[in-house]
């Protein structure tokens, strides 16, 4: 390798830039030259891109005869915003080295003219998103695009894996490999918990493959921001505000700071808090989240990159994307919910390989300080979450099949083994495959129920194709798996556009209600079609709560949390965070108990309001929701009782105004893992949950049309909500695979069945500690004040409505 | 079919609202409904969206049962009988009218009913109007201000209410919107959405579900 002309040219060029190749880069180049596919694991900022890209250049310079005119390297990246910068860097390298390759981008931002030119003559390197790649495959001339293709790189594979976009990538790769079996596929990923599996999903059944792991590690400095004194009864959410005084100096000391919050509402609040605490920030502080107008966001990103902003308050909207060189400090407000996310956010500061990423952790209640200790431990041991790949996502498959039918057609018998070779559909049965083909050709397994259905037709030569132009257009407009909530534009009455906000938030407001968006207090004037007209206002306002942002705690983090909490009772701990929390821990131990690692704590607290049953599984909000519902159901089988429930990431509460009479034996019984899933199914409304899951499935599979080719009114005739379609299918086509998929998604994602089962197994192995108290304990208090409560009762709809009538219900509606 | 009734005095007439999305007017032996949207599912199918034909059959079956149940002599449809052009599902209506030769079917034209005129008699409609007065009541598809001094029954809106249950959950139900001189009918077809936003002020909503009615506002 070292003595090839390609290698010498490339390393010389690197030297001229003051760089030397990392060992993992050299290894990747060597394997690429030998015709291998592979996966590269390296932290951000260490030249992952060049490990693949330069490998291709070296191989080309050594064997120019193997590379024909046309597209040689296809580069898949999940982020549009990354593509432009990446293309620029690649073109720069090519020009410096003195090659004549052309690098271009193709995605939603590419002009039609440019796309047409590309379709006639492909560049040598093309950067695409999974969506734009699928759109390429939907073109009639797709075959000639890829005739010279040598390699495909999948950038940020960890971001794609575990999502339906990942399945899109799997399917496209399977098809490309089918067309050119010698194709080399290289994935690039950050460290995740299941690297082996990640490689297997990317490169299924590929014999010549290698995993290249960089030895270099990114150093992360985690600095907790301590409140002045520890609160014995931690109050969820309210502490953050007080710490703003300590956050201001951190921002002032730094060149440029990103403040990460978990929800849009929190980001709005922090933006206000910072401006109040330090008015001079005006003009230097920006707010960035997904409800803010796209152009404003772009401006903020540019300004941040050029160092014109002192700080940006953001949500996960800035987790990924181009590097902002001036950013040297990151502040995380509240739990990051996961190790990977925390490390990713930390990595937004201190970019160059050997710089240290600095991240401050601002707890929103003092218990969250335990999380700092847990995070430090997780980062030290590199215990990072898995990204579990999705399987049997038939919505994505049927979309892909129509895509292929559109781009010149396919033969089902030929394609079946190709699809079966992907990880996502390796469990697919022959019947399921046949169902998918029936779904796109005749509408469903009982064809006569779908007469006049037109989508994909079988030509006489056996090729499945799309013939109708209108169907082709509808499909192209809706390729992709990102389903957005129904969004409303927010505009000033006087004109001027502010951003987008979810319809369901606006639907809860009345005319004249005030809310905060984009850092401003707005008064709702009226709603017309999909636009909310507002006036600038002042005073008290509702901060929209967007439920979407409420990620549950990851199981990795919860494991370390339990561990740290258990060890917090040792007075001699060296961990600063735990030392700080000592008074709280003492109080908890005095009035109740701190559970050791092999213990499970249950508290029954009697107050003037009634009876509170608290449990602390530390398994994240979603699992707690299911557990709380399940336990309420099991208790109500022992004796009639109805509960209201509250939960956070640490535990949950069942509240009742009548006495909860439980003895230790009954407690064991309701916590049993016996008949677990049966009882869960009996206690929840699975149909309702599946209906919600079906929303995305309906859009992805093309049953609900999200985008229309033109904005004409006539399109309204094709609108139906996924809820109505769900009901129709439940009634008349219960064997529809897409329905079954909705239920499967409920089990795997909503109920998190595997995690739930293992939680119960753990609890059953633990010693159950049952404590009584007459006042709230430090652990129970944050749950108590958590506003997200829902109540469960055994009443049916009729009696609930009667109750409602009794209370003289007012309709929620707008004038 | 579980028919729950709700009496309403309107323009001095006794009307029976039902939870089956249809009003019965005993004095005139008339059923009043709106927004049948026939052929909607077929229209979807033609555009590559696979919805089974039972969607349309179910609406027609419900209507047939209701005509039989009330032994209605007349059926007034206040618009949007047909969703988008002729297709096989529209023929279902023709067979329904054949099934009830004693019953007169009257259509008040809606914004969707563009092709109706030509095929009027072919599908068994006895008359088509854009606005029609019967006794004290004026039938129209879309309510306009010019009709303010009349007692009107209209459709078009697909009205519904959104109510909050004690559990912080929301429930959406179709409803009849009733003001002093106006009734807006819920859509008859089950394959329609709800508009919970455009309910006029000072209206009482008679919302309903499987087993009953409840009044809001």
Q: Does B12 touch chain A (CB under 8 A)?
A: no
SS3 A69: coil
| Whole-number CA gyration radius for chain A | 28
Overall domain count for chain B: 1
Token pair 């440029």 in the structure block, residue: A256
* Average pLDDT of the residues in A732-746: 93
3-state helix, strand, coil in chain A (%, to 5): 45, 15, 40
Q: How far is CA A380 from CA A373, A534, A576, A744, B11, in A?
A: 11, 49, 16, 36, 78
Helix H or strand E segment including A587: helix A582-591
| Token output for A231 | 């609160």
| Token output for B1 | 């079919």
pLDDT for A18 beyond 80: yes
Question: Mutating which of B19, B37, B45, B49 best tests the A interface, going by the most A Cβ atoms within 10 A?
Answer: B49
CA distance B87 to chain A (A): 9
pLDDT for A787 beyond 80: no
What pLDDT sits at residue A108?
Answer: 81
Q: Does A443 touch chain B (CB under 8 A)?
A: yes
| ipTM of the predicted assembly exceeds 0.85 | yes
CB A580 within 8 A of CB A552: no
Domain that holds residue B113: 5-216
Query: In which band, very low, low, confident or very high, does the pLDDT at B69 lie, cut at 50, 70 and 90?
Result: very high
What pLDDT sits at residue B116?
Answer: 61
Query: In which band, very low, low, confident or very high, does the pLDDT at A794 lie, cut at 50, 70 and 90?
Result: very low
**Percent of the residues in chain A that have a pLDDT greater than 70, as a whole number:** 92
| Token output for A738 | 């897409």
**Percent of the residues in chain A that have a pLDDT greater than 90, as a whole number:** 55
* Average pLDDT of the residues in A743-751: 89
Query: In which band, very low, low, confident or very high, does the pLDDT at A712 lie, cut at 50, 70 and 90?
Result: very low
* Average pLDDT of the residues in A404-422: 96
Whole-angstrom distance, CA of residue A488 vs CA of residue A505: 9
CB A798 within 8 A of CB A804: no
What pLDDT sits at residue A279?
Answer: 93
Whole-angstrom distance, CA of residue A300 vs CA of residue A289: 11
Q: How far is CA A657 from CA A609, A610, A788, in A?
A: 7, 4, 19
pTM, to two decimals = 0.88
SS3 A70: coil
pLDDT for A4 beyond 50: yes
Query: In which band, very low, low, confident or very high, does the pLDDT at A515 lie, cut at 50, 70 and 90?
Result: confident
Whole-angstrom distance, CA of residue A569 vs CA of residue A146: 63
Q: Could you read off the pLDDT of A659-694 as tens digits, one per residue?
A: 999 999 999 999 999 999 999 988 888 888 899 899
Interface subset of B 83-142, CB within 8 angstroms of A: 83-84, 87-88, 112
* Average pLDDT of the residues in B73-90: 88
CB B163 within 8 A of CB A811: yes
* Average pLDDT of the residues in A12-27: 93
H-type alpha helices, A306-393? 339-346, 368-380
Q: Does B203 touch chain A (CB under 8 A)?
A: no
| Token output for A456 | 């994909």
pLDDT for A648 beyond 90: no
Query: In which band, very low, low, confident or very high, does the pLDDT at A505 lie, cut at 50, 70 and 90?
Result: confident
pLDDT for B58 beyond 70: yes
Q: Does A468 touch chain B (CB under 8 A)?
A: yes
* Average pLDDT of the residues in A279-301: 88
Beta bridge partners of B75: B31, B105
What pLDDT sits at residue A706?
Answer: 79
Q: Look at A485 and B80; give whichever has higher pLDDT.
A: B80
Query: In which band, very low, low, confident or very high, does the pLDDT at B110 lie, cut at 50, 70 and 90?
Result: confident
Beta bridge partners of A649: none
What pLDDT sits at residue A238?
Answer: 53
Could you give all domains of chain A from N- to C-terminal order, each with its CATH number?
Answer: 5-213 (3.40.50.300), 220-380 (3.40.50.300), 394-481+687-747 (no CATH), 487-549 (no CATH), 592-684+751-799 (no CATH)
Query: In which band, very low, low, confident or very high, does the pLDDT at A538 lie, cut at 50, 70 and 90?
Result: confident
Query: In which band, very low, low, confident or very high, does the pLDDT at B169 lie, cut at 50, 70 and 90?
Result: low
Q: Which of B159, B45, B170, B122 is nearest to A717 (CA)?
A: B45
Q: Does A733 touch chain B (CB under 8 A)?
A: yes
Query: In which band, very low, low, confident or very high, does the pLDDT at A335 lie, cut at 50, 70 and 90?
Result: confident
| Token output for A723 | 């809820």
Considering only the beta carbons, identify the residue of A705, A791, A810 that sits closest to B166. Answer: A791
pLDDT for B180 beyond 70: yes
Cα angle A304-A310-A311, degrees, rounded to a multiple of 5: 75
Cα angle A624-A627-A630, degrees, rounded to a multiple of 5: 150
pLDDT for A315 beyond 60: yes
pLDDT for A790 beyond 50: no
Q: Do B46 and A452 touch (CB under 8 A)?
A: yes
* Average pLDDT of the residues in A453-468: 93
* Average pLDDT of the residues in A479-491: 80
What pLDDT sits at residue A709?
Answer: 66
Provide, as residue numbers in chain A, all residues whose Cβ is less than 8 Å from the Cβ of B157: none
Chain B residue with CA closest to A703: the answer is: B49
Whole-angstrom distance, CA of residue A771 vs CA of residue B215: 47
Q: Could you read off the pLDDT of A156-190 as tens digits, one per residue?
A: 999 999 999 999 999 999 999 999 999 999 999 98
Whole-angstrom distance, CA of residue A633 vs CA of residue A206: 49
Whole-angstrom distance, CA of residue A198 vs CA of residue A40: 11
Q: Which of A2, A6, A42 is nearest to A22 (CA)?
A: A42
What pLDDT sits at residue A714?
Answer: 42
Whole-angstrom distance, CA of residue A186 vs CA of residue A173: 11
Q: Which of A250, A243, A246 is nearest to A269 (CA)?
A: A243
CATH number at residue B96: 3.60.21
What pLDDT sits at residue A809?
Answer: 42
Considering only the beta carbons, identify the residue of A475, A702, A811 that sits closest to B217. Answer: A811
Whole-angstrom distance, CA of residue A694 vs CA of residue A692: 5
Q: Look at A569 and A417; give whichever has higher pLDDT.
A: A417
Whole-angstrom distance, CA of residue A168 vs CA of residue A187: 15
What pLDDT sits at residue A803?
Answer: 56
Poorest-pLDDT segment among A238-242, A711-715, B170-174: A711-715
Q: Which of B118, B150, B119, B121 is nearest to B136 (CA)?
A: B150
What pLDDT sits at residue A264?
Answer: 83
Q: Does A120 touch chain B (CB under 8 A)?
A: no
CB A528 within 8 A of CB A506: no
CB A172 within 8 A of CB A160: no
Q: Look at A683 and A510; give whichever has higher pLDDT.
A: A683
Whole-angstrom distance, CA of residue A221 vs CA of residue A580: 19
B92 φ, ψ to 5°?
Answer: -60, -35
CA distance A431 to chain B (A): 19
| Token output for A712 | 């004409």
pLDDT for A772 beyond 80: yes
């Amino acid at each position: 390798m070292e003595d090839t002309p390609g290698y010498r040219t490339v390393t010389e060029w690197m030297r001229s830039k003051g760089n030397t190749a990392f060992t993992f880069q050299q290894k990747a180049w060597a394997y690429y030259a030998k015709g291998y596919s592979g996966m590269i694991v390296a932290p951000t900022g260490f030249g992952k891109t060049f490990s693949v890209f330069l490998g291709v250049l070296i191989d080309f310079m050594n064997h120019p005869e193997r590379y024909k005119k046309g597209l040689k390297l296809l580069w898949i990246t999940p982020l549009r915003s990354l593509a432009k910068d990446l293309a620029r860097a690649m073109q720069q390298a090519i020009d410096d080295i003195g090659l004549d390759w052309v690098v271009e981008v193709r995605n939603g931002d590419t002009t039609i003219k440019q796309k047409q030119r590309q379709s006639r003559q492909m560049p040598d390197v093309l950067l695409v998103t999974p969506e734009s790649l699928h759109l390429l495959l939907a073109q009639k001339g797709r075959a000639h695009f890829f005739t010279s293709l040598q390699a495909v790189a999948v950038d940020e594979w960890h971001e794609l894996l575990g999502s339906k976009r990942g399945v899109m990538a799997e399917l496209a790769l399977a098809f490309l490999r089918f067309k050119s079996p010698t194709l080399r596929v290289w994935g690039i990923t950050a460290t995740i918990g299941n690297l082996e599996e990640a490689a297997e999903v990317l490169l299924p059944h590929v014999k010549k493959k290698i995993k290249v792991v960089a030895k270099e590690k990114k150093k992360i400095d985690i600095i907790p921001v301590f409140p002045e004194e520890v609160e014995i009864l931690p109050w969820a959410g309210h502490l953050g505000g007080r710490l703003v005084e300590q956050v201001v100096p951190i921002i002032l000391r730094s060149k440029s700071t990103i403040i990460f919050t978990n929800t849009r509402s929190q980001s709005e609040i922090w933006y206000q808090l910072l401006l109040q605490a330090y008015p001079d920030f005006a003009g230097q502080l920006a707010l960035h989240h997904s409800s803010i107008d796209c152009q404003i966001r772009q401006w903020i990103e540019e300004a941040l990159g050029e160092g014109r902003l002192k700080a940006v308050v953001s949500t996960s909207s800035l987790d990924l994307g181009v590097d902002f060189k001036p950013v040297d400090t990151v502040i995380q407000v509240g739990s990051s919910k996961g190790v990977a996310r925390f490390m990713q956010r930390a990595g937004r500061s201190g970019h160059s390989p050997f710089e240290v990423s600095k991240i401050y952790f601002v707890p929103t209640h003092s218990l969250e300080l335990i999380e700092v200790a847990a995070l430090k431990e997780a980062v030290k041991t590199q215990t990072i979450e898995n990204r579990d790949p999705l399987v049997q996502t038939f919505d994505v498959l049927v979309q892909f099949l129509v895509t292929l039918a559109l781009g010149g057609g396919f033969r089902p018998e030929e394609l079946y083994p190709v699809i079966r070779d992907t990880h996502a559909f390796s469990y697919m049965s022959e019947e399921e495959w046949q169902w998918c083909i029936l779904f796109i050709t005749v509408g469903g397994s009982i064809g006569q129920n779908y007469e006049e259905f037109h989508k994909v037709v079988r030509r006489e030569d056996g090729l499945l194709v799309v013939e109708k132009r209108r169907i082709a257009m509808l499909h192209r407009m809706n390729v992709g798996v990102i389903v957005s909530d129904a969004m409303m534009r927010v505009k000033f009455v006087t004109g001027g556009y502010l951003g987008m906000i979810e319809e369901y938030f606006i639907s809860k407001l009345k005319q004249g209600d005030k809310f905060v968006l984009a850092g401003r207090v707005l008064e709702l004037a009226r709603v017309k079609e999909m636009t909310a007209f507002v006036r600038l206002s002042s005073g008290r306002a509702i901060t929209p709560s967007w439920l979407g942002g409420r990620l549950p705690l990851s199981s990795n983090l919860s494991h370390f949390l339990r561990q740290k909490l258990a060890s917090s009772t040792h007075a001699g701990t060296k961990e600063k965070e735990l030392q700080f929390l000592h008074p709280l821990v003492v109080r908890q131990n005095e009035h109740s108990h701190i559970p050791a690692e092999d213990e499970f704590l249950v508290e029954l607290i009697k107050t003037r309001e009634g009876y509170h049953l608290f449990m602390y599984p530390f398994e994240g909000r979603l699992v707690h929701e299911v557990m709380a519902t399940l336990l309420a159901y099991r208790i109500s089988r022992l004796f009639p009782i109805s509960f209201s429930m509250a939960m956070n990431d640490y535990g949950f509460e069942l509240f009742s105004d009548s006495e909860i009479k439980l003895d230790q034996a009954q407690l064991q019984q309701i916590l049993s893992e016996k008949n677990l899933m049966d009882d869960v199914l009996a206690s929840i409304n699975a149909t309702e949950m599946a209906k919600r899951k079906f929303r995305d499935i309906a859009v992805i599979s093309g049953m609900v049309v999200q985008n229309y080719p033109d904005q004409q009114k006539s399109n309204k005739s094709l609108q139906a909500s996924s809820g109505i379609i769900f009901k129709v299918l439940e009634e008349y086509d219960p064997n529809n695979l897409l329905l079954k998929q909705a239920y499967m998604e409920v089990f795997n994602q909503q109920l998190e069945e595997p995690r739930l089962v293992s939680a119960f197994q753990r609890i059953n192995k633990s010693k159950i500690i049952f404590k009584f108290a007459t006042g709230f304990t430090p652990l129970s208090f944050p749950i108590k004040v958590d506003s997200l409560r829902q109540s469960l009762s055994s009443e049916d709809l009729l009696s609930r409505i009667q109750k409602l009538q009794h209370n003289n219900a007012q309709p929620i509606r707008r004038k | 079919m579980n028919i729950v009734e709700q009496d309403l005095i309107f323009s001095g007439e006794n009307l029976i609202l039902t939870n089956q999305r249809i009003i019965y007017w005993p004095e005139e032996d008339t059923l009043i409904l709106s927004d049948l949207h026939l052929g909607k599912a077929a229209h979807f199918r033609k555009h590559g969206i696979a919805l089974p034909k039972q969607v349309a059959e179910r609406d027609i079956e419900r209507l047939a049962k209701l005509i039989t149940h009330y032994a209605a002599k007349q059926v007034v449809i206040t618009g949007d009988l047909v969703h988008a052009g002729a297709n096989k599902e529209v023929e279902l209506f023709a067979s329904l009218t054949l099934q009830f030769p004693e019953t007169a079917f009257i259509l008040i034209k809606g914004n969707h009913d563009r092709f109706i005129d030509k095929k009027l008699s072919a599908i068994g409609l006895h008359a088509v109007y854009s606005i029609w007065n019967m006794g004290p009541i004026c039938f129209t598809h879309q309510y306009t201000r010019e009709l303010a001094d009349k007692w009107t029954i209209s459709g078009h809106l697909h009205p519904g209410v959104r109510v909050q249950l004690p559990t912080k959950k929301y429930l959406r139900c179709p409803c009849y919107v009733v003001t002093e001189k106006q009734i807006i009918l819920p859509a008859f077809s089950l394959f329609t959405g709800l508009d919970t936003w455009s309910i006029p002020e000072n209206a009482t909503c008679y919302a309903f579900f499987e087993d009953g009615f409840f009044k809001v506002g």
